Amino acid sequence: MSVIDIEKLTKYYGNFLALNEVDLNVKQGEVFGFIGPNGAGKTTTLRILLGMLRKNSGTIRLLGGDPWHDAVRLHRRLAYVPGEVNLWPGLTGGEVIDMLGKLRGGFEGERRDKLLERFKLDPRKKCGAYSTGNRQKVALIAALVSDVELYIFDEPTSGLDPLMEMVFRESVNELKKEGKTVLLSSHILSEVEALCDRICIIREGQIIENGTFDELRHLTRTNITVDTHKPITGLEDMKEVHNLIQKCNHTQFSVDAEKIDSMLKYLTQFGVQSLISVPPTLEELFISYYGLEYTENKETIRG
């Protein structure tokens, strides 16, 4: 069953086309990664999905309803953490967690206490006095404490330190075990790679790829390091071989993923002594999409 079903979603800001016929489908029980560089259209998609922004055209079903017309009813069944967390400065973190939790149908005190402990948050401080990271923790705990069907996180760990990033991952894995659906928008590749069952990549308002991480590996290359009895010949002429380095009987290269089988057969004729094959990371996948642009702006895209 689809929890989110978006078809041909298009959005203009004035004359600027921010989303161009975006399709996105998230099934029940999935942790789905929505990734792309800054300005790609992730937040715009999420805001339309949540009924906070009007679309120009396309269809959207959220938990079986229409987010623009059924917003109040649907929001009781989901928890959303925006990228930029704005809280009531005069309320304490604990009060905000209680209030948001109650709006979503209540929660177990034990679950809240466990999360406060895990995220190391003091709930007695006023939100106005929290640091950015602590405000983010308040919003995350308020979402995680709720027993809802769908959790939507927009850049959830941008203000958290690495330890808290791990705590967030642990919490999402628990949601997954409970069979909940999670939509995670991020430009931190390792986070998406560690958590998500399926991903979709958006760039300049268009979905450019969609599938499981394994399905997307065909788009990239596998790195091979091999030691052989005889020096390997002929690799330099193969168009599926890249970044070739050879020193006598030691050879390193990358090979287009769909040619691995024939490559392994080819290598055996030289007497393989040892072979290490490393699958491509999501980061390499990204490089194949963003190419130079990604490499040059790596810091921007990694956040």
Contacting residues for 38 by C-beta, under 8 A, at least 6 apart:
187, 300, 301
300 binds ligand ATP (CB under 6 A): no
**Residue closer to ligand ATP (CB basis): 43 or 228:** 43
- Give the whole-angstrom CA distance, residue 277 versus residue 112: 44
43 binds ligand ATP (CB under 6 A): yes
- The size of the interface with ligand ATP (CB under 6 A), counted in residues, is 13
**Residue closer to ligand ATP (CB basis): 75 or 187:** 187
Q: What share of the chain is helix, strand, coil (3-state, %, to 5)?
A: 40, 30, 30
- Contact (Cβ atoms closer than 8 angstroms) between residue 183 and residue 30: no
88 binds ligand ATP (CB under 6 A): no
Q: Minimum CB separation from ligand ATP for residue 33, in Å?
A: 13
**Residue closer to ligand ATP (CB basis): 116 or 202:** 202
Q: Minimum CB separation from ligand ATP for residue 49, in Å?
A: 12
Residue burial 132-145, b: 16+ Cβ < 10 Å; e: rest? ebbbbbbbbbbbbb
Stretch that binds ligand ATP, among 34-42, 215-223, 278-286, 288-296 (CB under 6 A): 34-42
Contacting residues for 37 by C-beta, under 8 A, at least 6 apart:
187, 203, 290, 294, 297, 300, 301
- Kindly provide the residue ranges of all beta strands, DSSP E only, lying in 178-248, ordered along the sequence: 181-186, 198-203, 206-212, 221-228, 241-247
Stretch that binds ligand ATP, among 32-40, 135-143, 222-230, 262-270 (CB under 6 A): 32-40
Q: Minimum CB separation from ligand ATP for residue 302, in Å?
A: 12
Q: Do the strands 150-154 and 241-247 form a parallel or antiparallel pair, or are they unpaired?
A: unpaired
Task: Read off the tokens for 91.
Answer: 């309320």
- Give the whole-angstrom CA distance, residue 222 versus residue 275: 12
**Residue closer to ligand ATP (CB basis): 39 or 271:** 39
40 binds ligand ATP (CB under 6 A): yes
**Residue closer to ligand ATP (CB basis): 16 or 178:** 16
16 binds ligand ATP (CB under 6 A): yes
42 binds ligand ATP (CB under 6 A): yes
- Give the whole-angstrom CA distance, residue 26 versus residue 210: 11
18 binds ligand ATP (CB under 6 A): yes
13 binds ligand ATP (CB under 6 A): yes
Residues 165-204, mask of contacts with ligand ATP (x by CB under 6 A): ----------------------x-----------------
- Contact (Cβ atoms closer than 8 angstroms) between residue 273 and residue 227: yes
Which of helix, strand or coil describes residue 228?
Answer: strand
Stretch that binds ligand ATP, among 22-30, 33-41, 68-76, 128-136 (CB under 6 A): 33-41
Q: Minimum CB separation from ligand ATP for residue 50, in Å?
A: 13
Contacting residues for 162 by C-beta, under 8 A, at least 6 apart:
none
39 binds ligand ATP (CB under 6 A): yes
Reference 50, options 35, 31, 69; nearest CA is 69
Q: Which residues bind ligand ATP (CB under 6 A)?
A: 13, 16, 18, 36, 38-44, 83, 187
